[in-house]
């Protein structure tokens, strides 16, 4: 909201000057005023869409009978915040045999330095090591190693090979989010009907 209100300052200033002086402001004033209007509005729309369009969760489904992995991904494009096609949820299907886990550790631009760890799954071209796509898997390397080990166990030996968890898995769609406005605005996870059925069944 603050960015949106800030973006309104240049046009209101232009109108006020035009009414009081009766002349059109100079080219330099118009040029920098246009930039001061577009940039905050651009950033405002980007953050607004990130807040209200990102889903409550981005689940990944593993189907050992089909040897497929189904990924529910939210796509965004900072250069095109007004686009309808560049933003939105897409459900992708990948072959399990073409997935590779990648760990990345970098220091982010923070006040005292901050270590940022992430684990992604890379999709390689069959028979090669050429990466054709990537998607997020875990926020920390240790967590990613654990999740990847469990995914491998499940795909190779089945659910009986997995450890017993004391709590049932969380369902973000059905959790009580009444006190979190951002969570209430976030769309629920809705798989396409065909992929929802395919990811849950055998061939």
- What are the pLDDT digits (tens) for 30-47? 788 888 888 888 888 888
| Ramachandran angles phi, psi of 67, nearest 5° | 55, 45
CA torsion angle 61 65 67 70 (round to 10): -20
**pLDDT for the residue 28:** 79
150: confidence class by pLDDT, cuts 50, 70, 90: very high
Residues 6 or more apart whose Cβ sits within 8 Å of residue 130? 124
- What span, in angstroms and rounded, lies between the C-alpha atoms of 96 and 70? 10
Reported as a pLDDT band with limits 50, 70 and 90, residue 133 is very high
- Whether residue 47 contacts residue 185, with contact meaning beta carbons closer than 8 Å, is answered with no
Judge whether 141 and 105 are in contact, CB under 8 Å: yes
Residue 182: the pLDDT is 67
- Compute the mean pLDDT over every residue in the chain, rounded to the nearest whole number: 86
Mean per-residue pLDDT, 53-57: 85
- For the stretch 106-116, pLDDT in tens is 877 766 567 78
Q: How many CA atoms lie within 13 A of 149 on its CB side?
A: 8
The per-residue pLDDT for range 175-187, each reduced to its tens digit, is: 666 666 666 778 8
């Amino acid at each position: 909201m603050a960015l949106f209100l800030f973006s309104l300052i240049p046009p209101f200033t232009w109108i006020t000057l035009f009414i009081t002086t009766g002349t059109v402001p100079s080219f330099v004033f118009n040029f920098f005023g246009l930039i001061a209007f577009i940039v905050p509005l651009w950033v405002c729309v980007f953050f607004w869409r990130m807040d209200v369009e990102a889903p409550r969760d981005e689940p990944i489904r593993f189907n050992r009978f089909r040897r497929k992995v189904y990924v529910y991904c939210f796509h965004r494009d900072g250069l095109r915040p007004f686009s309808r096609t560049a933003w939105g949820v897409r459900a992708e299907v990948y072959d399990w045999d073409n997935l590779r886990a990648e760990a990345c550790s970098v220091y982010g631009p923070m006040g005292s330095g901050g270590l940022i760890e992430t684990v992604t799954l890379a999709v390689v071209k069959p028979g090669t090591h050429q990466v054709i796509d990537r998607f997020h898997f875990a926020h920390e390397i240790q967590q990613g190693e654990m999740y990847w080990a469990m995914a491998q166990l499940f795909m190779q030996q089945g659910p009986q090979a997995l450890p017993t968890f004391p709590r049932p898995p969380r369902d973000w769609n059905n959790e009580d989010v009444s006190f979190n406005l951002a969570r209430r605005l976030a769309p629920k996870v809705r798989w396409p009907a065909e992929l929802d059925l395919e990811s849950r069944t055998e061939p």
